[in-house]
Structures are given as structure tokens and as C-alpha cells.
């Protein structure tokens, strides 16, 4: 039996214990008494990319996640990560093997496949209620090498062309430019006549990544082929696309484009400082909220036609992963499974920005697009009716694999274009350098 | 398919075939001559069952319902059949491109039946000479669209954007000078450039290619040509040989590829190879297309720099040529869709012979026997072969 002297705690030891307890904070569990109920309550930590419409994130955390937590006796903590910080935060968590239970990306997180669970069981669970995942979701989250799903896709955002109808009508194109040739020729006349430049995003950002991958695709070029071979500098199409963008910039662009940060193209459109851009319809929603008169003049149309036809990559492919090191993997999987039940609410709360991966969850999507409550005219958004047809996954024509996604997240394509536009490299040299960079990435993943 | 009641063949004309009395009877009904022009019913062949209707222009209400500005369509620039171009190319001297015919029963069509039948390669990868269309009108800019969506809520401009008609304009002028770039917005601003203001047949170096095969089922387009593009419209994609492809600075790579392709497909009026398929064009443009579509060429990578290029005219009308066409393809050109008084509009050599006799053969097979040549009996095929041989 210990003596009373031994039971006594020295002052120095007490201070140490108190400090440790304070540092541990909420991780401590206290048995018995008033804390018993709290101890049984689980926690689900979610990192979610910050939506372009802040009100959506407020609803996601304050209503959707909260109500799910109440149903499952779980405290759900949602951290909203700015899109430009998503990559760094995810990499840090993967490196530390510690962090959130669930990480929601705005693109397919193929680089993290060794850090995440196989999400097949989530797709299977969802299929009982909503059918199979569609082509876009499948090709964005499936690894054909391991036959596993490295992520779970719940929604996506189309990337149409947004343009000011009144200005394009001034150059005889009230329906918008519709193909890349007219984007340049009309944009040139428009800038000369009205002084308004064409506002495609060029500086490295999500917007430029989407814009320039879309453009490459339309020019019959791409980073990888279907088998995953590096083809960005095979043939002459990438060089043709580079020459086109340089000419577009010189004929119809503006120096401000080169300095835009995230959302710079959106801000320029909202300020009526550019005539068109490629973006999700969050741009229009922001305009509708801020200045309905400006919003009325912005129209959308399907992606511009190129030699490969009418194609685009999604502005966002919302893909979630449950980390292998998640402390509450069961809760994370359950949350994702039930997330699809809320697809309709997600579509509505995102004001039509987030299209469902599971089509049946919003069966009247086309009717809604034809008669939008905020659109002026209300049928403005019907241009998105066939968005799933003209949208291809990142990594097209193959799957979203680690090479394609690392190239995406390190802005290989925007940097290649920017070098040419700035005159720092010839189109041929820039394409060659980009190919070398992607090849290095591919070699790294071969050894991984 | 709607059936159309027709009367007896119109009499008079030139016999094309010499395959017995029956064939002579059939062939006694060629394109109506200008002097006899008032209203003409479609002459019907006694050699096959007729159930596919020939091409008629759409009526104004149907154009309007599908977002087309009829006022613009009826201007000389659009050159709509029924108002303009009754004579002149592509009709031979003394013949007409269209006739008034009141026998049609389709409520969406008017009484202008089209005789000028333009041939084209199908865009399904085979390059088969099986497509036949009627060029009803040319659309020069976006003012031809009203911006009003069709009954399904889709803008016609969005639909037509998916369906490309590939036009190959002549690049070698009458002095033998090769122009490696188009004039106008599609070009690079250098000279010499070739004009892009007309896609009339005399301005072409080879026959058209039409993407009639695109559809939503196989994902090749959000829409299907025959189910969604109900005016049969096209956006014109112009394609041409660039300087490094066929000009003075032709690369060894392009030289080798063009020689191989020319051996396979034959040569255009310019002396450059005929391009029949999307893969051939895309490959020569420098795109990776999976496998080399040019037999005999060693290597799988596409050329760099490219041998060809493509583009579309400015949609605001800055190029003063046709941006879009209203020219519906015949869904099924067999069994009466090509009438005995129709004529084939195709590219001809300076000596008057067809550049690609395969079009001539198929047209005659369809016109005389109501079927493609590949579907005929040996005796029927032989008779057509004899006739095509006459045209060579």
C-alpha cells in the first residue's frame, strides 16, 4: 500500500500533468458522471473544399452534416478548405498519416490511392438505392490497375462558356462564339470595337486548369492517351493549341489575365471587364446575387467546338476519400453513402451548380434547367441539358490516374501555356518541356 | 417513312444506260429541262418499289419553329432553293436544280423538290461514298438564327455545332500557284491565300464528307443527326493542306505520308491526296488517332509540323462565306429517295469526268435500281459499270 507521502503529487509533477491535459484537450475521455454521454458520442471530421457559393457551405455544415450527426449520434466537424489549399492540406495529412476522417476534393484525388480505403463498398451500398455510378464518376474514381475505387464521386459542375450577350451581339454573335475560331476572330473585333478583352483564365489556378485542359481536348490533344502514355508533345496538336492561345491573347486578351489569382476570371466578368470566360455557373449565381442587371446579360453555351468536337472537362468533380488512417472510418463511409440521398438538396442548395452523379436523384433536372427561379430569362440554364454528354473526366481519354492528376495539380498545362503567352518559350519548346515534366511524373509513379 | 403518291414519269430526255428496253424506259426521265419547267412530279422507276420520299425544302413554319430566321433565309446570300439558284451550278446547262412539285405529303415541307443531289463520304471511318444531301441554303452569320429554342428547348445553333460537313476548297489557282492558308479569319494573314466565300462545287478540290453518323447513343455527340438535327443542318469545317504539307516547304514526313495517302485514295483537283475519313485528316493535322490510318507509311506518330489544318468561318460573317448549311442528308437514299429526274452534284475534273466515279456508280445504282451498288445483282452491277465506264 502506498504511503500518503507517495500519494502526494509534487508541484512540479502537477504542473506537468496539467499542461499535458490542456494540450490533449478534447481528446481526453472522462469516465462516469456528467461526461458519460459525451464519451459515447462519436466524432466525424470532414475536410471539404470550399464551395464557390459560401451559402452552400453554411448549409452543408449547419444543416446537412449537423442533421446527419444527430441521426448517428456523432459530432460532425466540417473544415472548409479554400480550393487553392486543398492539395497542400491533403498532402500534409497523407504524409502525417493523421488528419480528417473524410477528405472531399474538387477533383479526382488519384495521387492518394495508397492512403485511402477501397471505396467499392460505398458505391455498392449506394447502388441499392440509386443504381450504378455514371461514366463520369466511374472514370474519375476507378483505378483499372487495382480494380479499386480510390474515391467516391457525388456531384460535379459543368464548365460552359459564359459570355456577355450584348457585347457579342455587337460583333454579330448574339449566340456567343460557339467555336474557337470565332472566339478569336469575334474577340479580336470586340476588343477593337469596345475595348473589352476576352477573359479566359490563363494564370495557374483551378479555372485555368479547367479552361486549358478543355481547350487542349478540343484541339485533339491531351496529356495522356487512353493507355496512360505521355502524348502531350506527340504530333502537332498541342503546339497548334499553344499557338492559338498566344494568338488569342495577342488579338483579344489583356495583360491582367496573366496575373489573375483564383477566381480572377469570375471577378473580371462580374465587373464587366471581360467579354467571356469558361467557368461553372457559380459565376452567374454570384452575378444574380450581386447585380441582376449584369447577370441578365451573361449567357452560357456549351463548350466551344474544336477539331475534336464539343468537349470540356468538369469545373469540379466532387470526390471524397476516407483515409486509411481515419479514426472514424465507419462514420465516414456511412456519411458518404447517405450523402447521395441528399443529392437533390445538394443540387438545390448549390443553386444548380452541383449536378448529381446519380441522375435519378434529381429526375427533373432538365425541367429545372428550363425554368430556373433565379435565371433571367428563366430558360437560360437549359444550355446545360446535355452537359453530361459533352463533359469528359479529367484524365480523358483514360481514367483519372495519378500521373494525370499530379500533372493537373502541379499546373503543368497552365504553366506551359503561360510560358508561350508571355513569350518565355516557343510553343515547341514549351510543349517539349511539359512532356518532359509529365514523363518525370509518370516515371515516378511507375516506381511507386 | 412517309409514302408519296406520284404520277407517271415525265417524258423526254437523254437515255443514260443501254440495258434493255425496260432500262431505257426508266432512263427516259432525266432532270427536267428549263423550258418545260412549271410543276413537275417525281418520276418513278418501274424497276423497284418506291417508298422513300425525295428531298423537298422545309416550309417556313418548320424553319421558324426550329429557330431559323426565314426572312434572312429568303435573301440572295442564303440562296435558298425555291427562290434562288434554279439554274446554274450545280445544274448542267439547260437543266434546273429544283422544281415545284405538289405531290409531297409531309406537313413540314413545301412544294419545292430538290433535284441537285450532292454526294459525300460518310464520316464513320470507312469513307464510303454513300451520303447524298440537298444543299437547300447557306447561312452566313448568326442573324440566320432567331435564338428561339425548338420544341425541346434546344437552340438549333447548339445542335448544328455538333454536325460537321467537311469542305475542301481548291488551293491551287488557275496559274498553278498553291495557297497554303485560307483568306479571312481562318488563315494566318499571309498571301497567297485561297478564297473561302463559296463552297459551290466548282470551288472544291474534292467531294464533301458528312458526319451523319454522330449520335448520342455511342457518345459521339450530344445529339443524333437524323433524330435531333431535323433541319439537316451542318456547320462547315474547312480543311486544307498547309505549307509544310503540300507547299514549297513540304517536310519529308508529309511528303512520305501524302504519297502513301494519294496511292490509297487518289488525288484531288489540286494534285494533293483525297482525304476521306476523320482519322486521315486528324492524323495529318498532327493528332494521335490510335493507329496510323495511312497504309504504307512506316511509323505511328502523327506528323509534326502538321500536313493539314482545319477551321470554321467567323460566326459574325466576317469571312463572307457560308458558316452553316441547310442540306439534309437523305436518311435512306434507296427506294425512291433519288428520283429519275435528280442529278448528281459532284466534283469533276476539267475534262468533265467525275473525280471519284464511286459516287457516280452509287448514284446511278440508287436512281435506276433503288439500291446501293453493293446490293445489286451481278447483272445489274455490270450494267452500271458499263455506264460509269462511259463517264470515265
Under a CB-based contact definition with an 8 Å cutoff, are residues A174 and A275 in contact?
A: no
Q: Is residue A231 part of a domain?
A: yes
pLDDT tens for residues B184-230? 999 999 999 999 999 999 999 999 999 988 887 777 777 888 888 99
Report how many Cβ contacts below 8 Å link chain A to chain B.
131
How far apart CA A187 and CA A171 sit, in angstroms, is 9
Partner B, chain A 249-288, Cβ-Cβ below 8 Å: none
Q: Supply B10's cell numbers.
A: 415525265
Establish if A218 belongs to a structural domain.
yes
Q: What is the pLDDT of residue A14?
A: 45
User: What is residue B392's predicted lDDT score, i.e. its pLDDT?
Assistant: 55
Residue A397 resides in a domain: no
- The per-residue pLDDT for range B155-193, each reduced to its tens digit, is 898 899 889 999 999 999 999 999 999 999 999 999 999
Do A415 and A289 fall into the same domain?
yes
b/e per residue, B83-94, with b = 16+ CB within 10 A? Answer: bbbbeeebbeee
> Quick check: A236 and B235 CB within 8 A?
no
> Chain A contacts of B303, Cβ < 8 Å?
235-236
To the nearest whole Å, the CA of A52 is away from the closest chain B CA by 27
Name the DSSP class of B32. Answer: P
- Tell me how crowded residue A360 is: count the other CB atoms within 10 A of its CB: 11
The answer to whether A368 faces chain B, any CB pair under 8 Å, is no
Contacts of A182 in chain B (CB under 8 A): 185, 312, 314-316
User: What pLDDT is stored for residue A240 in this prediction?
Assistant: 96
Task: Report the residue of B304, B313, B324 to disrupt the A interface, i.e. the one with the largest count of A CBs within 10 Å.
Answer: B304
- Residue listed under C-alpha cell 488512417: A325
Nearest to B221 among A234, A307, A309 (CB): A309
Check whether residue A233 and residue A267 sit in a common domain.
yes
The SS3 assignment for B66 reads coil
**What is the mean predicted confidence (pLDDT) over B303-325?**
96
Q: How far is A29 from chain B (nearest CA, A)?
A: 56
How far is it, in rounded angstroms, from Cα B339 to Cα B47? 12
Q: Which residues of B touch A184 (CB under 8 A)?
A: 185
SS3 B241: strand
Residues 402-431 of A with CB under 8 A from B: none
Among chain B residues, the shortest Cα distance to A178 is held by: B161
* Distance in angstroms (rounded) separating the CA atoms of residues B242 and A297: 40
Q: Which among A179, A225, A236 has CB closest to B312?
A: A179
Which SS3 state, helix, strand or coil, does residue B391 take?
helix
Side-by-side strand order, sheet with A161-164: A276-278, A161-164, A298-301
pTM: 0.87
A71 and A105 inside one domain:
yes
CB contact under 8 A, A240 and B142: no
Provide the residue ranges of all domains of chain B, joining segments of one domain with +.
20-171+191-241+312-391
pLDDT tens digit sequence for B141-159? 999 999 888 888 888 988 9
Q: Is B357 on the interface with A (CB under 8 A)?
A: no
Q: Which chain B residues are closer than 8 Å to A234 by Cβ?
A: 288, 301-302, 304
Which of A236, A309, A389 lies nearest to residue B302, judging by beta carbons? A236
Distance from A246 to chain B by nearest Cα, in Å?
13
Q: What confidence tier does B32 reach under pLDDT thresholds 50, 70, 90?
A: low
Same domain, A267 and A253: yes
The residue of chain B with its CA nearest to that of A227 is B290
**Is B315 in contact with A173 (Cβ distance < 8 A)?**
yes
Q: What is the pLDDT of residue A123?
A: 98
Q: State residue A22's pLDDT score.
A: 43
- Give the pLDDT band of residue B12 (cuts 50, 70, 90): very low
Residues A443 and A346 in one domain: no
Q: Which of A231, A236, A366 sits opposite B285 (nearest CB)?
A: A236
Interface contact B221-A310, CB threshold 8 A:
yes
Same domain, A319 and A288: no
CA distances for B210 relative to A307, A336, A405, angstroms: 14, 46, 36
Mutate to test the interface with A, among B123, B153, B245, B289 (most CBs of A within 10 A): B153
Instruction: State the cell numbers at A296.
Output: 441578365
Residues A237, B154: C-beta atoms closer than 8 Å:
no
How far off is chain B from A40, nearest CA to CA, in Å?
Answer: 51
Residue A189 near chain B (CB below 8 Å): yes
Q: Closest CB to A179: pick one of B161, B282, B306.
A: B161
Q: In which residue are the cell numbers 516515371 written?
A: A443
Indicate the pLDDT class of residue B33, thresholds 50, 70 and 90.
Answer: low
- The whole-chain average pLDDT of chain B stands at 87
A177 touches B at CB < 8 Å: yes
On whether both A71 and A84 belong to a single domain, the answer is yes
| Closest chain B residue to A427, measured at CA | B305
Q: Using alpha carbons only, what angle is made at residue B46 by residues B42 and B48, rounded to the nearest 5 degrees?
A: 95
Query: Which of B158, B185, B304 is opposite residue A301, by nearest beta carbon?
Result: B158
User: Which of A339, A355, A370 is where one domain is finished?
Assistant: A370
Q: Under 8 Å CB-to-CB from A373, ≥6 apart: which residues?
A: none
B99-117 pLDDT tens trace: 999 999 999 999 999 999 9
A184 touches chain B (CB under 8 A): yes
Please give chain A's pLDDT, 448 residues, in tens: 333 444 444 555 544 544 444 444 333 333 333 444 455 789 999 999 999 999 999 999 999 999 999 999 999 999 999 999 999 999 999 999 999 999 999 999 999 999 999 999 999 999 999 999 999 999 999 999 999 999 999 999 999 999 999 999 999 999 999 999 999 999 999 999 999 999 999 999 999 999 999 999 999 999 999 999 999 999 999 999 999 999 999 999 999 999 999 999 999 999 999 999 999 999 999 999 999 999 999 999 999 999 998 999 999 999 999 999 999 999 999 999 999 999 999 999 999 999 999 999 999 999 999 999 999 999 999 999 989 999 999 999 999 999 999 999 999 999 999 999 999 999 999 999 999 999 999 999 998 7
Q: Are residues A76 and A110 both part of a single domain?
A: yes
SS3 A367: helix
Across the interface, do B147 and A178 touch by the CB < 8 Å criterion? no
Q: Which residue on chain B is closest to A235 by alpha carbon?
A: B286
The DSSP annotation for B262-290 comes to: HHHH-B-TTSSBP--SHHHHHHHTT---S
A173 and A289 both lie in a single domain: yes
User: Does residue A48 form part of some domain?
Assistant: yes
* Same domain assignment for residues A329 and A292: no
Host domain of residue A124: 41-157+315-370
Strands (E), B268-355: 308-311, 324-326, 343-345
Contact A239 B304 (CB under 8 A): yes
Cell of A236: 502537332
Give the closest-approach CA distance of B316 to chain A in angstroms.
Answer: 4
Instruction: State residue A39's pLDDT score.
Output: 54
Phi, psi of A285 (to 5 degrees): -65, -40
pLDDT value of position B300 = 66
DSSP A309: E
Residues A172 and A271 in one domain: yes
Is A58 a member of any domain? yes
Angle CA B166–B168–B169, to nearest 5:
135
Does any domain span residue A2? no
In a domain, A402, yes or no: no
* pLDDT for A16: 52
* Residue A211, C-beta contacts closer than 8 angstroms, at least 6 positions apart: A159, A200, A201, A202, A265, A277, A278
- The residue of chain A nearest to residue B303, with distances taken between CA atoms, is A235
Q: Grid cell 448549409 — which residue? A: A59
Taking the Cβ of residue B300 and every Cβ of chain A, the question of whether any pair is shorter than 8 Å is answered with: no
Total domains, chain A: 2
- B255, with CB counted inside 10 A (0-12, 13-18, 19+), is middle
ipTM of the complex: 0.82
Q: Measure the CA–CA gap between A27 and A21, rounded to whole angstroms.
A: 9
Same domain, A284 and A173: yes
What's the CA gap between B359 and A99, in Å, rounded? 68
The arithmetic mean of pLDDT across residues B299-312, rounded, is 90
Confidence of residue B391 (pLDDT cuts 50, 70, 90): low
Contact assignment for A235 to B316 by CB distance below 8 Å: no
C-alpha cell at A339: 450523402
Q: Which pLDDT tens digit goes with each residue over B43-68?
A: 777 788 889 999 999 999 999 999 99
List the CATH number of the domain containing A106: 3.40.190.10
Find the farthest-apart pair of alpha carbons in chain B and give their distance in angstroms, rounded.
Answer: 60
Residues of chain A with C-beta less than 8 angstroms from the C-beta of B222: 302, 310, 386, 389-390
Nearest one of B23, B14, B7 to B379, comparing CA atoms: B23
Amino acid at each position: 500500500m502506498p504511503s500518503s507521502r507517495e500519494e502526494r503529487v509534487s508541484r512540479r509533477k502537477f504542473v506537468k500533468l496539467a499542461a499535458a491535459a490542456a494540450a490533449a484537450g478534447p481528446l481526453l475521455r472522462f469516465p462516469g458522471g456528467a461526461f458519460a454521454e459525451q464519451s459515447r458520442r462519436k466524432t466525424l471530421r470532414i475536410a471539404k473544399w470550399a464551395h464557390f457559393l459560401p451559402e452552400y457551405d453554411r448549409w452543408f455544415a449547419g444543416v446537412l452534416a449537423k442533421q446527419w450527426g444527430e441521426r448517428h449520434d456523432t459530432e460532425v466537424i466540417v473544415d472548409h478548405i479554400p480550393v487553392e489549399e486543398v492539395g497542400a492540406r491533403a498532402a500534409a495529412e497523407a504524409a502525417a498519416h493523421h488528419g480528417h476522417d473524410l477528405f472531399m476534393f474538387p477533383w479526382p484525388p488519384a495521387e492518394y490511392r495508397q492512403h485511402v480505403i477501397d471505396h467499392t463498398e460505398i458505391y455498392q451500398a449506394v447502388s441499392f438505392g440509386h443504381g450504378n455510378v455514371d461514366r463520369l464518376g466511374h472514370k474519375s474514381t476507378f483505378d483499372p490497375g487495382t480494380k479499386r475505387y480510390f474515391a467516391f464521386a457525388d456531384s460535379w459542375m459543368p464548365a460552359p462558356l459564359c459570355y456577355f450577350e450584348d457585347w457579342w451581339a455587337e460583333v454579330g454573335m448574339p449566340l456567343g462564339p460557339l467555336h474557337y475560331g470565332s472566339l478569336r476572330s469575334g474577340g479580336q473585333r470586340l476588343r477593337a470595337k469596345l475595348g473589352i478583352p476576352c477573359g479566359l483564365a490563363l494564370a495557374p489556378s483551378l479555372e485555368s486548369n479547367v479552361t486549358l485542359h478543355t481547350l487542349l481536348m478540343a484541339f485533339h490533344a491531351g496529356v495522356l492517351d487512353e493507355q496512360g502514355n505521355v502524348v502531350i508533345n506527340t504530333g502537332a496538336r498541342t503546339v497548334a493549341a499553344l499557338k492559338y492561345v498566344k494568338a488569342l491573347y495577342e488579338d483579344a486578351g489583356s495583360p491582367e489575365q496573366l496575373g489573375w489569382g483564383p477566381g480572377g476570371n469570375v471577378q473580371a466578368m462580374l465587373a464587366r471587364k471581360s467579354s467571356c470566360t469558361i467557368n461553372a455557373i457559380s459565376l452567374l449565381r454570384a452575378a444574380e446575387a450581386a447585380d441582376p442587371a449584369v447577370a441578365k446579360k451573361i449567357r452560357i453555351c456549351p463548350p466551344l467546338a474544336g477539331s475534336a468536337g464539343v468537349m470540356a472537362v468538369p469545373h469540379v468533380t466532387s470526390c471524397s476519400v476516407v483515409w486509411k488512417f481515419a479514426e472514424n472510418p465507419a462514420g465516414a463511409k456511412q456519411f458518404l453513402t447517405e450523402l447521395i440521398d441528399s443529392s437533390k438538396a445538394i443540387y438545390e442548395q448549390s443553386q444548380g451548380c452541383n449536378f448529381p452523379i446519380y441522375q435519378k436523384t434529381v429526375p427533373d433536372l432538365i425541367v429545372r434547367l428550363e425554368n430556373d427561379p433565379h435565371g433571367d430569362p428563366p430558360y437560360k440554364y437549359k444550355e446545360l441539358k446535355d452537359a453530361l454528354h459533352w463533359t469528359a473526366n479529367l484524365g480523358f481519354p483514360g481514367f483519372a490516374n495519378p500521373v494525370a492528376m499530379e500533372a493537373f495539380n502541379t499546373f503543368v498545362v497552365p504553366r506551359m501555356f503561360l510560358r508561350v503567352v508571355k513569350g518565355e518559350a516557343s510553343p515547341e519548346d514549351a510543349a517539349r518541356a511539359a512532356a518532359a515534366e509529365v514523363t518525370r511524373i509518370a516515371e515516378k509513379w511507375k516506381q511507386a | 417513312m412517309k409514302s408519296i403518291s406520284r404520277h407517271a414519269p415525265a417524258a423526254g430526255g437523254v437515255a443514260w444506260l443501254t440495258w434493255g428496253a425496260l432500262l431505257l424506259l426508266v432512263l427516259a426521265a432525266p432532270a427536267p429541262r428549263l423550258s418545260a419547267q412549271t410543276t413537275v412530279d417525281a418520276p418513278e422507276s418501274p424497276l423497284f418499289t418506291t417508298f422513300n420520299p425525295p428531298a423537298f425544302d422545309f416550309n417556313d413554319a418548320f424553319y421558324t419553329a426550329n429557330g431559323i430566321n426565314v426572312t434572312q433565309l429568303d435573301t440572295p446570300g442564303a440562296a435558298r432553293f425555291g427562290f434562288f439558284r434554279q439554274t446554274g451550278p450545280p445544274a448542267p446547262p439547260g437543266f434546273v436544280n429544283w422544281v415545284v412539285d405538289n405531290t409531297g405529303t409531309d406537313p413540314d415541307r413545301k412544294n419545292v423538290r430538290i433535284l441537285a443531289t450532292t454526294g459525300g463520304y460518310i464520316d464513320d471511318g470507312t469513307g464510303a461514298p454513300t451520303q447524298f444531301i440537298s444543299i437547300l441554303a447557306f447561312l452566313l452569320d448568326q442573324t440566320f438564327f432567331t435564338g428561339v429554342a425548338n420544341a425541346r428547348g434546344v437552340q438549333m445553333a447548339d445542335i448544328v455545332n455538333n454536325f460537321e460537313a467537311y469542305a475542301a476548297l481548291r488551293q491551287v489557282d488557275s496559274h498553278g500557284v498553291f495557297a497554303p492558308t485560307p483568306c479571312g479569319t481562318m488563315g494566318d494573314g499571309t498571301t497567297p491565300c485561297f478564297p473561302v466565300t463559296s463552297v459551290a462545287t466548282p470551288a472544291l478540290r474534292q467531294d464533301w464528307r458528312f458526319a451523319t453518323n454522330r449520335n448520342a447513343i455511342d457518345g459521339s455527340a450530344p445529339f443524333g443527326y437524323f433524330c435531333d438535327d431535323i433541319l439537316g443542318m451542318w456547320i462547315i469545317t474547312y480543311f486544307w493542306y498547309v505549307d509544310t504539307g503540300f507547299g514549297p516547304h513540304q517536310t519529308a514526313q508529309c511528303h512520305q505520308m501524302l504519297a502513301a495517302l494519294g496511292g490509297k485514295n487518289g488525288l484531288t483537283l489540286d494534285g494533293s491526296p483525297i482525304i476521306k475519313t476523320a482519322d486521315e485528316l486528324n492524323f495529318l493535322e498532327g493528332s494521335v488517332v490510335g493507329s496510323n490510318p495511312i497504309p504504307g507509311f512506316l511509323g505511328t506518330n502523327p506528323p509534326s509540323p502538321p500536313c493539314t489544318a482545319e477551321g470554321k468561318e467567323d460566326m459574325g460573317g466576317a469571312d463572307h462565306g457560308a458558316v452553316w448549311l441547310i442540306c439534309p442528308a437523305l436518311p435512306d437514299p434507296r427506294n425512291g429517295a433519288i428520283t429519275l429526274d435528280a442529278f448528281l452534284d459532284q466534283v469533276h475534273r476539267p475534262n468533265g469526268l467525275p473525280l471519284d466515279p464511286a459516287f457516280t456508280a452509287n448514284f446511278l445504282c440508287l436512281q435506276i435500281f433503288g439500291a446501293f451498288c453493293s446490293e445489286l445483282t451481278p447483272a445489274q452491277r455490270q450494267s452500271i459499270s458499263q455506264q460509269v465506264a462511259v463517264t470515265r
